[in-house]
Structure 1
Amino acid sequence: MIDEGSVKNKLYNEFIKPTTQKKNFIGIEIEIPIINLNKDAVDFDVVHKITDKFQSHYGDFKTDGVDFEGNIFALKNHETDDIVCYDCSYNNIEFAMGKEKDLFTINDRFCEYYSFVKESFEEYNHTLTGMGINPYRKYNLNKPIPSERYLMLYHHLKSFKNYEDVPMHFHNYPEYGMFSSASQVQLDVYKDDLVKTINVFSKNRTD
């Protein structure tokens, strides 16, 4: 039996309590499509070679995720909390930058990682693109990373067929995470400003 009080405490400690601590950090996650300039599918063997090369070059990055086939899909620097990983599939690379007090520090590290990875991919006639939707998606293999999280997610997304008669909005692109990328920004907000901040970010332009 799940105790309602313990659930509320868990939710409070996870989502509300952090807002009672006055902090002023920012964190950024940038997902970027990988493309094969030969207009073929992204070569996952190349992806794994680049991952190994990155880890060898940046020794502070330790293995943080390994798929069922023994390939690394996430590397983390525990000093900066920077993470370089692949999101949903090996068609997308993600730079999740650890929190800092200013954007300039994050930008310096991101540009260094990005340049290294991009130049490394270009040795195999692959590159990175800033586009949110992979322009070469029709050539790619839409296969999820073989790990618990991504196989579970893909299995769930494919369940849209079970709800075709339900009056809700579903799309028939369960593989969308394998050809689409996004960016996220995390901001610390103190509790006194929480509602106001949510309202500001929720407003729609009317002009």
Structure 2
Amino acid sequence: MSRSIDLLKHRYLKNIKENPELFIGVELEYPVVNLEGNATDVEVIKDLFHYLLSALDFTVEKVDDFGNPIQLVNPISQDAILFEVSYTTIEFAFGKVETIQEVENRFNNYMDVIQRKLGESNHAIVGCGIHPNWDKNENCPVAYPRYQMLMDYLSLSRNVTESDLHHFPEYGAFICGSQVQLDVSNSNYLRVINAFTQIEGAKAYLFANSEFSGENWDTKISRDIFWEESMHGIYTENVGVNARLFNDEADFFDYLDHSAIFTAERDGQTYYFYPIQARDYLTTPEIQAYALSGDMVLISPQEKDFETHRSYQYQDLTTRGTVEFRSVCTQPLDRTFSSAAFHLGLLVNLDKLEAYLETAPFFKEFGRDYKFLRRQFSKKKLTDEEESTIIEFSKDLLLLAEEGLVMRNKQEMSYLQPLRDKLGL
């Protein structure tokens, strides 16, 4: 086995348990808008973070280069409220819970306080996958090395000639997603990744919420294009829907070995460089890297650089023994938790889900190119045949998700009601 695969296995398998308890981890990203339609006033949001320290009993976990709090944490629940890449996006990252209700209760408490405070300055959090005023905001990164590196790295796309990359490298400042992490085991993590890869077409239909006004893209999920046609997507294995299902662990890690490394730390400094596939990284003699100052330096690859490896697949095996589902746009506020409930129910009902997907009529009709299906069923207008077929597929999945939630017996079925309404059930 290659050394790169050794390092990836160590990073991603070390915290997977054989029989884990099923916990839920939810991360929600939201644009903060100026209700008068102008650019978001970032000073309003910086003030909000100071205010939340006393209003919600949070403590400061991280500050920016100017000493402003940018990540707050509740010592008891381990919930964090933070800026996500820019000062115009707020993320809620909840500590792990046993039921969706626990997250919802805490989220509602935070939102009551936050919306009231923002309202004093005519600002509000909104449930959109793209910041509605993206074109008026400055779209600068938070003054913190990780975010500055990310934005500078994405801006390398301006130097990549003869490519299909889009012209919005600052997109990290204005796209927002709704992620859920669920515990997996050694024996089921690949099954989970494979099963959920197959349903991305239905998820595109059910959860699309990021149309983009800046380009004439025929999609309701511009987030996909922003990810895939950016520096993150130079290697297709690095981002988006998996191109194939995996036969076994070796096959999966071979795929991960094709994902990219693009950043490294040396002596407390953060550097970034054109992406190098993990499998080629350690044998690269030296790397032309950039400091955050813009200076160019030569660095040698080191094994410790794998410790910050991060790929951006939509079914992402994390270092915490979970699979993170990353393909859902931020949802309207009245259906914040429908995505988490959908994923949770299907995971609990995994055996039946797998059996259903083997013979699902949807695939007989449209094939099994999962990347294509995701793009096809996020289009702004579907044919009658596409519409009726995706609705039937989505209904079948929704019923399996409901069945899974009933098996859990935690009274979480009501979170699927918005999806039932959408599908006319």
Q: TM-score, normalised by structure 1?
A: 0.89
1:43-58 alignment, distance < 5 Å:
43-58=41-56
Runs of 4+ in 1 over 4 A off after TM superposition: none
Query: Partner of 1:199 in structure 2?
Result: 194
Select the structure of larger CA radius of gyration: 2
Q: Residues of 2 paired with 1:176 and 1:72: CA distance?
A: 23
Deviations 1:9-52 (A, max 9, x none): x5334311322242211100000100011222211111111111
1:23 and 1:190 in contact (8 A); partners too? no
Measured after TM superposition, the shift of residue 182 of structure 1 is: 0.7
Measured after TM superposition, the shift of residue 111 of structure 1 is: 1.1
For residue 137 of structure 1, what is the amino acid of its counterpart? W
Q: Residues of 1 paired with 2:55 and 2:73: CA distance?
A: 13
Measured after TM superposition, the shift of residue 164 of structure 1 is: 1.9
1:138 aligns to 2:135 (yes or no): yes
1:24-39 alignment, distance < 5 Å:
24-39=22-37
Query: Partner of 2:78 in structure 1?
Result: 81
Structure 1: tracts of 5 or more residues without a match: none
Identity %, equivalent residues: 32
For residue 34 of structure 1, what is the amino acid of its counterpart? V
Q: Residues of 1 paired with 2:3 and 2:11: CA distance?
A: 15
Query: Partner of 1:15 in structure 2?
Result: 12
2:30 and 2:127 in contact (8 A); partners too? yes
Q: Residues of 2 paired with 1:164 and 1:65: CA distance?
A: 37
2:56 and 2:110 in contact (8 A); partners too? no
Q: Residues of 2 paired with 1:20 and 1:47: CA distance?
A: 39
**Could you say which structure has the greater relative contact order, defined with CA pairs below 8 angstroms and 6 or more residues apart?**
1
Q: Please say which of residues 175-184 and 27-36 is displaced more in the overlay.
A: 175-184
1:96-115 alignment, distance < 5 Å:
96-115=93-112
Deviations 1:118-176 (A, max 9, x none): 1110011001100111112222121111110111001000000222235xx42221111
Query: Partner of 2:3 in structure 1?
Result: 4
For residue 164 of structure 1, what is the amino acid of its counterpart? T
Q: Residues of 1 paired with 2:108 and 2:85: CA distance?
A: 23
Q: Residues of 2 paired with 1:20 and 1:43: CA distance?
A: 45
Query: Partner of 1:158 in structure 2?
Result: 155
**Helix, strand or coil: the match of 1:132?**
coil
Query: Partner of 1:42 in structure 2?
Result: 40
Query: Partner of 1:116 in structure 2?
Result: 113
Give the total of aligned pairs: 200
Q: Residues of 1 paired with 2:138 and 2:152: CA distance?
A: 17
2:55 and 2:113 in contact (8 A); partners too? no
2:83 and 2:89 in contact (8 A); partners too? yes
**Helix, strand or coil: the match of 2:92?**
strand
Deviations 1:76-128 (A, max 9, x none): 12321210001011110011111111111111111111221111100110011
1:65 aligns to 2:101 (yes or no): no
Q: Residues of 2 paired with 1:99 and 1:180: CA distance?
A: 24
2:53 and 2:59 in contact (8 A); partners too? yes
For residue 4 of structure 1, what is the amino acid of its counterpart? R
Closer, same or farther in 2 for the Cα pair 1:23/1:13, shift >3 Å? farther
Q: Please say which of residues 43-52 and 84-93 is displaced more in the overlay.
A: 43-52
Q: Residues of 2 paired with 1:116 and 1:13: CA distance?
A: 42
**Helix, strand or coil: the match of 1:100?**
coil
1:188 aligns to 2:187 (yes or no): no
Q: TM-score, normalised by structure 2?
A: 0.45
